[in-house]
């Protein structure tokens, strides 16, 4: 592998950690109601094993888990989907699920920089609730599913577990593009009255009604195809460019288009 040329202290530290320890840990916490996550850089290079990502746990614990995973694969252990493993969370078993490559550019920028491409493997460590519920369990709490965002595909129905199937960025086919949809539209309690495209190319489909204090936590991440199934008239505004929006008073009435209003 051709080593990238570091441009700042963070990149120099990353290369130094991989050289000395065989692994560098990246911790991301953007706040604003979104769950933190952390991932490894260098494990595939040094151990010929997939990188690992942990979503929704505190930084200190995430850092320890990534290092524990690194130590175990360095000693020859490998982790297979469909199996459960001990030793990462006290009193609980965890699973490892392959991350979809569509997420690599958006979530693993440091690994993309280190490898020079998005051609690498990542396993997501999936952890349960304190009473042993995993995200795909039928009775898993919705807020737990939303907090531990899934970067993998599964057999859950899109309407049951939407975060697992929101796959694509703005360059993906329309039906796969990530879409934030409010709970009123998702639950078919209100029609979609507002559609926009954010600066990162993701969609928002909202009802425009008041959600009270539950706005952020009740929002769902789904593929655009999911909202089209519920309301085919949204295809009328599927040509919106990044930074544009469209509004209507009710379904069947004309859309009012314009630049996105923050």
Q: In which residue are the tokens 């489909």 written?
A: 205
Q: What is the average pLDDT across 222-229? A: 85
* Between residues 199 and 14, the one the model is more confident about: 14
Q: How many CB atoms lie within 10 A of CB 51?
A: 27
Confidence category of residue 257, pLDDT binned at 50, 70, 90: very high
Q: How many CB atoms lie within 10 A of CB 198?
A: 15
The radius of gyration of the chain from alpha carbons, rounded to an integer in Å, stands at 20
Give the tens place of pLDDT for each residue, 184-194.
888 788 899 99
pLDDT at 42 over 50: yes
pLDDT > 70: percent of the chain: 88
Q: What is the average pLDDT across 119-148? A: 87
H or E element at residue 144: helix 142-147
What predicted TM-score, i.e. pTM, was given to this entire model?
Answer: 0.62
What does the block give as tokens for 191? 């029609």
* Phi, psi for residue 16 in degrees, rounded to 5: -65, -40
Give the tens place of pLDDT for each residue, 148-180.
887 886 544 333 344 434 556 788 888 888 899
pLDDT of residue 154: 53
pLDDT at 218 over 90: no
Interacting residues of 215 by C-beta distance below 8 A, sequence separation 6+ = 182
* Between residues 123 and 199, the one the model is more confident about: 123
């Amino acid at each position: 592998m051709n080593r990238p040329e570091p441009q700042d202290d963070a990149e120099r530290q990353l290369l130094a950690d991989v050289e000395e320890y065989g692994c560098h840990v990246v911790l991301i916490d953007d706040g604003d109601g979104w769950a933190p996550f952390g991932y490894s850089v260098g494990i595939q290079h040094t151990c010929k094993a997939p990188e690992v990502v942990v979503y929704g746990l505190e930084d200190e614990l995430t850092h320890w888990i990534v290092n524990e995973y690194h130590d175990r694969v360095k000693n020859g252990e490998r982790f297979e989907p469909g199996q459960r493993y001990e030793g990462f969370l006290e009193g609980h078993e965890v699973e490892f699920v392959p991350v979809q490559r569509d997420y690599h550019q958006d979530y693993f920028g440091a690994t993309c920089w280190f490898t020079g491409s998005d051609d690498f493997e990542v396993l997501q460590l999936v952890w349960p609730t304190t009473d042993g519920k995993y995200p795909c369990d039928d009775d898993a709490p919705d807020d737990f599913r939303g907090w531990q965002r899934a970067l993998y595909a599964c057999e859950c129905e899109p309407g049951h577990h939407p975060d697992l199937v929101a796959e694509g960025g703005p360059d993906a086919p329309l039906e796969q593009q990530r879409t934030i949809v409010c709970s009123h539209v998702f639950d078919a309690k209100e029609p979609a009255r507002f559609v926009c495209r954010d600066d990162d190319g993701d969609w928002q489909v909202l009802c425009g009604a008041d959600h009270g204090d539950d706005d952020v936590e009740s929002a769902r991440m789904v593929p655009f195809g999911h909202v089209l199934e519920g309301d085919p008239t949204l295809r009328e505004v599927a040509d919106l460019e990044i930074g544009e929006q469209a509004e209507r008073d009710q379904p069947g009435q004309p859309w009012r288009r314009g630049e996105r209003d923050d």
